[in-house]
Amino acid sequence: MNYKTIGFNIRDARRQKGWTQEQFAEKLGLSVSYIGLIERGVKLPKFETFIKMINLLDASADVILSRVTNIGYTIRTSEYLDKISKLPKAEQERIFEILEVLTRKSK
């Protein structure tokens, strides 16, 4: 299992909330150093702590584990499609052209 990926996803969700590690740690009742270890992928939180984290972050466990689980690629695809749909049409077309070239070469 890739601890760094899980830690990165937790850090990303925390940053999206606009919280520092200190604020996040305080809300969870944990030390800043422990949050740092998790976000760097040195440690995994206990299951109970993980649940508290995702509830506090209003994040789905699927999203936090998206690059670790098999279904994670489906979730990532959905996230990227959502991001692409919010771009101007010209940018969307450019991205789809790049994807077309990449997928054509991978066949």
- Give the separation between CA 54 and CA 62, rounded to whole angstroms: 10
* Domains of the chain by residue range: 3-64, 72-105
Task: Give tens-digit pLDDT for 17-76.
Answer: 999 999 999 999 999 999 999 999 999 999 999 999 999 999 988 889 877 776 666 777
Question: What is the reported pLDDT for 70?
Answer: 67
Residues 82-98, buried b or exposed e (16+ Cβ, 10 A)? eeeeeeeeeeeeeeeee
**pTM across the whole model:** 0.69
Question: What is the reported pLDDT for 15?
Answer: 97
CATH architecture under which domain 3-64 falls: Orthogonal Bundle (1.10)
Question: What is the reported pLDDT for 27?
Answer: 97
Residues 46-73, buried b or exposed e (16+ Cβ, 10 A)? eeeebebbbeebebeeebbbbbeeeebe
Per-residue tokens: 81? 């499609």
